[in-house]
Structure 1
């Protein structure tokens, strides 16, 4: 069984909990998620099954969209509602224009310091384990990109936002930092990921609706291997190119059903609705007699079928 299951993660479960539940329901061990959601968060969690686990790194790279709810006036040790309140402040009579102006200051490339209650590791130890022991360590700042922040509602002390951002963005930290700019402090009270890459919340299935006989391409929210990399051009390989791929040799450009590709572009190579390989177009490699494509993932059993 090979495919991508689009799960609407419920509140209160970790991403690893979801993986464990999928393993039990589908009775398969080879399962992995494509990007952690905090226990408090809900929404789109793509879960790879079988050979789809080999595609996880390509799926994690996409941007995300979140619906976030903040409460001003309270700062917590986890930066969200699951933590303990460590400071309370007065909430000024903020206007929508003032909140929108503060949000604009976070657009573009920004740096974030990962929260102590996170899965980031320090010397091999997850930060959240240190935090539970009352230990705080220095963390390196990370660059992330905020493409869009929309203010949906302002009902003090509560603020509802929609955020488009790069992978690796901590919405908890964004809420905390926005609270500092507004002067009131803030923490995250609700979070729903409505998009991960090209996968939307409307496509997802709940764990309660997932049955043990679900199969990729047949059950709702369960994509076949060949349909997973839908953001990439899908190029059809001829029989000669498939034969080369079956033994791990990149195809030539004339063995692929296009006249030209963009150099460095990520490509899905397919034949008869089977994913044969994921590759990058690399014409310079031809000078080394290594073919026109740099193979990143090959599924030789599909190529030989």
Structure 2
């Protein structure tokens, strides 16, 4: 008789872990490893990194997943190396070689002008090797099956492209960009503009919104902490639920207004803490974070309209 595998009981874990994603793991694989160690019920991350990439990956647990969009929507900063003279099907070092090209003639003046030309608002066509979906299937699944489908361009902003180093066959850049930017596509486009081909040989995210590489903890450190102290070893690195929204204005509430907002009701804003249309973070009883609201105007009154609220159970 076949034995049924016993399910591991899961428990609520709330907070944000700023992981330095290691090379070779997908963002989800890194997340699932920590989630398994903590036996956490619910977890997510705030912006996918390919297995080739390393760096800033905020992991959200429990109640913090409600506010993960703040990290998903944030600008990102990367350091990347573009290998010139060859294209690959994935646009990075993991792919199969497609075509060889002559190396371009480069000097700093030409490169600085090129980067200036690429800076600013623009549209970018996502790569086939991406997790975006077409008719319910992920693009990278279609790409692996040899299919190529039309992808609508997306609006992005390249805020700054900084030249860090160049050699006869490579460029190393720091890229500050909006959400949704594919650095692999940028690398291919820059190489093409130079009259060559190229792919990413390395990629590291050094900032995501207010989170930067100086705040990170790596996977070996977390696993060692777990070996020594169990779950408490990892929880020592956990940031509070409101960590990703700490840049927003604060609104302190009395008990009655806090209760109404938790029930989905708008309340009158007595003190102007933010402009109309802006989001604020809400605190009750002096220090308890209960969620996010938006300031709106109605009949010459300022109201707080609840957006994302913590569950009542999580407050207790």
Q: Which residue of 2 aligns with 1:124?
A: 136
Structure 2: distance between partners of 1:237 and 1:3:
22
Quick check: 1:141 aligned with 2:153? Answer: yes
Q: Aligned pair in 2 of structure 1 residues 260, 32: CA closer, same or farther (>3 Å)?
A: closer
Contact kept? 2:70, 2:244, Cα under 8 Å: no
Q: Which residue of 1 aligns with 2:175?
A: 163
Structure 1: distance between partners of 2:251 and 2:15:
19
Equivalent in 180, 194, 203 of residue 206 of structure 2: 194
| Paired residues for 1:35-184 under 5 Å | 35-184=47-196
Structure 2: distance between partners of 1:53 and 1:127:
25
Contact kept? 1:41, 1:192, Cα under 8 Å: yes
Q: Which residue of 2 aligns with 1:261?
A: 274
Residue 250 of structure 1 and its aligned partner are, at CA, apart by 2.5
Residue 61 of structure 1 and its aligned partner are, at CA, apart by 0.8
Q: Aligned pair in 2 of structure 1 residues 136, 241: CA closer, same or farther (>3 Å)?
A: same
Q: Which residue of 1 aligns with 2:3?
A: none
Structure 1: distance between partners of 2:273 and 2:31:
40
Quick check: 1:224 aligned with 2:236? Answer: no
Residue 298 of structure 1 and its aligned partner are, at CA, apart by 1.4
Q: Secondary structure at the match of 1:292?
A: strand
Structure 2: distance between partners of 1:33 and 1:304:
23
Q: Aligned pair in 2 of structure 1 residues 151, 36: CA closer, same or farther (>3 Å)?
A: same
Contact kept? 2:68, 2:244, Cα under 8 Å: no
Contact kept? 1:252, 1:293, Cα under 8 Å: yes
Quick check: 1:297 aligned with 2:308? Answer: yes
Equivalent in 288, 302, 305 of residue 274 of structure 1: 288
Deviations 1:65-95 (A, max 9, x none): 0001111111111111110111111112210
Residue 44 of structure 1 and its aligned partner are, at CA, apart by 0.3
Q: Aligned pair in 2 of structure 1 residues 214, 7: CA closer, same or farther (>3 Å)?
A: farther
Structure 2: distance between partners of 1:302 and 1:227:
20
Structure 1: tracts of 5 or more residues without a match: none
Structure 2: tracts of 5 or more residues without a match: 1-12
Residue 25 of structure 1 and its aligned partner are, at CA, apart by 1.3
Contact kept? 2:251, 2:273, Cα under 8 Å: no
Q: What TM-score, normalized to structure 2?
A: 0.89
RMSD: 1.9
Q: Secondary structure at the match of 2:201?
A: strand
Q: Secondary structure at the match of 1:71?
A: strand
Equivalent in 197, 213, 217 of residue 231 of structure 2: 213
Residue 263 of structure 1 and its aligned partner are, at CA, apart by 0.5
Q: Secondary structure at the match of 1:38?
A: coil
Quick check: 1:18 aligned with 2:42? Answer: no
Greater shift, 131-140 or 236-245, is seen at 236-245
Q: How many corresponding residue pairs?
A: 297
Structure 1: distance between partners of 2:35 and 2:246:
25
Structure 1: distance between partners of 2:206 and 2:47:
13
Q: Aligned pair in 2 of structure 1 residues 111, 73: CA closer, same or farther (>3 Å)?
A: same
Q: Secondary structure at the match of 2:176?
A: strand
Q: Aligned pair in 2 of structure 1 residues 156, 260: CA closer, same or farther (>3 Å)?
A: same
Residue 242 of structure 1 and its aligned partner are, at CA, apart by 1.7
Q: Aligned pair in 2 of structure 1 residues 166, 285: CA closer, same or farther (>3 Å)?
A: farther
Q: Aligned pair in 2 of structure 1 residues 214, 159: CA closer, same or farther (>3 Å)?
A: farther
